Chain A
Amino acid sequence: MRLLLWWAGRALSSAVTLLGISVLIFAALRLMPGGFAETILGPFATPAQKAELAARYGLDQSVFAQYGHWLAAVGTGDFGTSMISRQPVAAELWARLPVTGRLTLFAVAAAVLAGVPLGVLTALRARPGGGGAAGRLLSGLGVSVPEFALGSLVVFVVSRYGLQTSGYLLPAAVLSIFAISATARTTRDAVLNVLVEPHVTAAVARGETPWFIVRHHILRNAAGPVLTLTAYLLGGALIVEYLFNLPGIGSYVVQAVGRRDYAVVQAGVLLAATVFIVMNVLIDLLVGLVDPRLGRRA
């Protein structure tokens, strides 16, 4: 019951955040060069089209009313029309969803299967003070290579040695390396925090083996921060799609910025922020199920 209440509160506050984001994006839309009508219709719209748009969005009304109309349209999945393809933006995004989805799912799987164990291992090996300069350097390197730099390197190596560059394997591998190193680092911090808790000392005092303690007392306690990380993979997916020329949502939005196809940009950004927030809420729900204390903290 408490958990339910807490979760409802969390969902409500996310809804408020989403509303804030929509205001931000609407403001950005009005700030973009060319103005609202051109942003939605593109520069080649006929006066008739413009008049129709003005009526539909109430461009002759106050800013607040305009925001209301825009929000209503967006709420029903109407993101306007792409200036380049003259297709509804929603349909275009929908068509590209599977590419992005597959890529991120793969990376999430890699993060869970490889990143978590790696993080646990390095946390158990960590010694206060040193941890070994080499170990710190190596783990630092994992998060110090930006996606685009590592991606470029992979593309180079692969094409140099005549390997297959098309397909999803490579992009998925690049994104996975990121997911793994970021997850490993987050897991490590989370596990280090759990390790100093008295209940772990108590388990050690009972003569449990390290492996037993990790499995039964540490993993669940450290789950929260790790799950949250998966939401951050969205940004990495964008870079990787662009780099490998994959027809996903990320590369589509990047192209749209270059071509000043603003209807697509606003839709893409709104979509990314929404997915990010919804995922965070779902993850909070998961963490709440795993860690019963959360319900109390509300």
Chain B
Amino acid sequence: MSALLEVDGLEVDYGTARALDGADLRVAAGEAVGVVGESGSGKSTLGAAIGRLLPRQAVVAAGTVRVAGEPVLDLPPAALRRLRRQRLGFVFQDPIASLDPTMRVGAQLRLVLRAHGRDGRESPGGRDGGRGGADVAFHLARVKLDDPRVAAAYPHQLSGGMAQRVAIALAMAASPELLVADEPTASLDSQVREEVLNVVFALARQAGTSIVWLSHDLPAVARRCDRVAVMYAGRVVESGPAADVLGDPVHPYTAALARSAPAVAVPGVRLEPVPGRPPVLTGPSPGCAFAPRCPFAEDRCATERPEPVRVGAKDVLCHRAAELEVIA
């Protein structure tokens, strides 16, 4: 089966800083994939690259991104816009800032619906051709915003959770095939988080939309996603079915991450954080970027770049994957 999203060997530099160092990611249709990693591991860069939304100073040094077979990084502008409009949806970290501050929520939603009407694509609930209030109310109700005052409010009058639901409604209005959510709940209170995530996953399931959820939180991701990809220093070091990655990690970094996660901590057992800090790359890493922090590192780990190894249902980026699999 050909995947909906295929990222292959993507390398992205910001001036001298290397944000992605050969990242691979595969997402099938209808699947929810969680991408986890520490701050600076390149999650946002990967997410932005999927829609070719990288800032101008970012340079793609190598690699490809395909969405439904289309080469995102090489499309002409009009085709790129069509792809974004019809197949992709994005939700960002700061919900209030990602809405136009000078426009009421209803007007913003209407604007988006009208654009989809022009495409000749009927959005769900679009009984009156994307013109009127019924449509707006329908799309707000889908994200559990039933209060009619929301449509008349400006973004700064909403709470973070409400604003994020509006942003989700905007992104999902056209029922995209792939939704990229970059830490959509990072700026929200913990009670609101679950509600917002419920809304996202319910809507996506209903519309058959695949999800790429970028997050810091391995257990939370493992709970909701079908598959998990763990990033370290600009590469995906381990990916596979969520239960396998969290419950049976092979890569030493994933293992340390899984052990230190509070959700799996057993009372009385000491948390084991990963000692050391992630590297700041200024070019391709000569070997495995995790080697300096790795308790299992050998000589070749510092000099030889690891290639993905198939271990069970997972892809692991480690020279000693086979041996470690046995240990685990």
A contact residues vs B (CB 8 Å cutoff): 127-128, 197-199, 201-209, 212, 216-217, 220-221, 290-293, 296
- Contact flag A199-B84 (CB < 8 Å), given A205-B51, A216-B111: no
Q: How many residues of B contact A (CB 8 A)?
A: 31
A-chain residues with CB within 8 Å of residue B53 when the two chains form the complex: 201, 204-205
- Please determine whether A291 and B102 come into contact, CB atoms closer than 8 angstroms: yes
- Please determine whether B57 and A206 come into contact, CB atoms closer than 8 angstroms: no
* Total inter-chain residue pairs, C-beta < 8 Å: 75
B85 is an interface residue with CB less than 8 A from chain A: yes
- Please determine whether A220 and B102 come into contact, CB atoms closer than 8 angstroms: yes
Measured CB to CB, the closest approach of chain B to A236, in angstroms, equals 30
B-chain residues with CB within 8 Å of residue A198 when the two chains form the complex: 92, 94, 97-98
- Contact flag A207-B102 (CB < 8 Å), given A199-B97, A201-B53, A292-B156: no
B213 is an interface residue with CB less than 8 A from chain A: no
- Minimum CB distance partner of B56 in chain A: A128
- Please determine whether A205 and B102 come into contact, CB atoms closer than 8 angstroms: no
- The 29 sampled A-B contact pairs (Cβ below 8 Å) are A127-B56, A128-B56, A128-B57, A197-B97, A198-B97, A199-B97, A201-B92, A202-B98, A202-B167, A203-B100, A205-B84, A205-B90, A205-B171, A206-B112, A206-B171, A207-B83, A208-B115, A209-B81, A216-B111, A217-B103, A220-B102, A220-B103, A291-B102, A292-B102, A292-B154, A292-B156, A293-B101, A293-B154, A296-B156
Q: A202-B98, A206-B170, A292-B101 are in contact. List 19 more A-B contacts (CB 8 A).
A: A127-B56, A199-B97, A199-B101, A201-B53, A201-B98, A202-B170, A205-B53, A205-B84, A206-B84, A206-B112, A208-B115, A216-B111, A217-B100, A220-B103, A290-B102, A292-B156, A293-B102, A293-B156, A296-B156
Q: Give bound CA distance, A203 to B89, whole Å.
A: 11
Measured CB to CB, the closest approach of chain A to B121, in angstroms, equals 12
B-chain residues with CB within 8 Å of residue A207 when the two chains form the complex: 80-86, 88
Q: Give bound CA distance, A204 to B84, whole Å.
A: 8
- Please determine whether A221 and B81 come into contact, CB atoms closer than 8 angstroms: no
Measured CB to CB, the closest approach of chain A to B286, in angstroms, equals 30
Q: Give bound CA distance, A293 to B100, whole Å.
A: 11
Q: Give bound CA distance, A197 to B84, whole Å.
A: 19
B-chain residues with CB within 8 Å of residue A293 when the two chains form the complex: 101-102, 154, 156
Q: Give bound CA distance, A293 to B103, whole Å.
A: 10
Measured CB to CB, the closest approach of chain B to A93, in angstroms, equals 39
Q: Give bound CA distance, A176 to B264, whole Å.
A: 70
B-chain residues with CB within 8 Å of residue A203 when the two chains form the complex: 100
A-chain residues with CB within 8 Å of residue B51 when the two chains form the complex: 205
A-chain residues with CB within 8 Å of residue B94 when the two chains form the complex: 198
B-chain residues with CB within 8 Å of residue A127 when the two chains form the complex: 56
Q: Determine which of A208, A209, A212, A291 lies in contact with B101 in the assembled complex, contact meaning CB atoms within 8 Å.
A: A291
Q: Give bound CA distance, A212 to B167, whole Å.
A: 19
If over half of B's interface residues share one DSSP class (helix, strand or loop), that class is named, otherwise mixed; here it is mixed
Measured CB to CB, the closest approach of chain B to A232, in angstroms, equals 24
Measured CB to CB, the closest approach of chain A to B27, in angstroms, equals 17
Q: Give bound CA distance, A291 to B307, whole Å.
A: 53
Q: Give bound CA distance, A128 to B92, whole Å.
A: 24
Q: Give bound CA distance, A291 to B171, whole Å.
A: 24
B-chain residues with CB within 8 Å of residue A202 when the two chains form the complex: 90, 92, 98-99, 167, 170
Q: Give bound CA distance, A212 to B116, whole Å.
A: 13
A128, A220, A291, A292: residue with the most chain B Cβ atoms closer than 10 Å: A292
Contact with A along B94-125 (1 / 0, CB 8 A): 10011111110000000110010000000000
- Minimum CB distance partner of B92 in chain A: A198
- Minimum CB distance partner of B53 in chain A: A205
Q: Give bound CA distance, A197 to B103, whole Å.
A: 15
Q: Give bound CA distance, A13 to B92, whole Å.
A: 39
B-chain residues with CB within 8 Å of residue A290 when the two chains form the complex: 102
Measured CB to CB, the closest approach of chain A to B8, in angstroms, equals 22
Measured CB to CB, the closest approach of chain B to A58, in angstroms, equals 52
Measured CB to CB, the closest approach of chain B to A205, in angstroms, equals 4
A-chain residues with CB within 8 Å of residue B115 when the two chains form the complex: 206, 208, 212
**B40-92, CB < 8 A from A:** 51, 53, 56-57, 80-86, 88-90, 92
A-chain residues with CB within 8 Å of residue B100 when the two chains form the complex: 199, 203, 216-217, 221
A-chain residues with CB within 8 Å of residue B99 when the two chains form the complex: 199, 202
B-chain residues with CB within 8 Å of residue A216 when the two chains form the complex: 100, 103, 111
Contact with A along B137-153 (1 / 0, CB 8 A): 00000000000000000
B86, B94, B111: residue with the most chain A Cβ atoms closer than 10 Å: B111
A-chain residues with CB within 8 Å of residue B84 when the two chains form the complex: 204-207
B-chain residues with CB within 8 Å of residue A204 when the two chains form the complex: 53, 84
**B236-284, CB < 8 A from A:** none
A-chain residues with CB within 8 Å of residue B171 when the two chains form the complex: 205-206
- Please determine whether B88 and A205 come into contact, CB atoms closer than 8 angstroms: yes
- Minimum CB distance partner of A196 in chain B: B55
B-chain residues with CB within 8 Å of residue A292 when the two chains form the complex: 101-102, 154, 156
- Minimum CB distance partner of A205 in chain B: B90
Q: Give bound CA distance, A217 to B97, whole Å.
A: 13
A127, A198, A291, A296: residue with the most chain B Cβ atoms closer than 10 Å: A198
Measured CB to CB, the closest approach of chain A to B67, in angstroms, equals 12
Q: Give bound CA distance, A128 to B57, whole Å.
A: 8
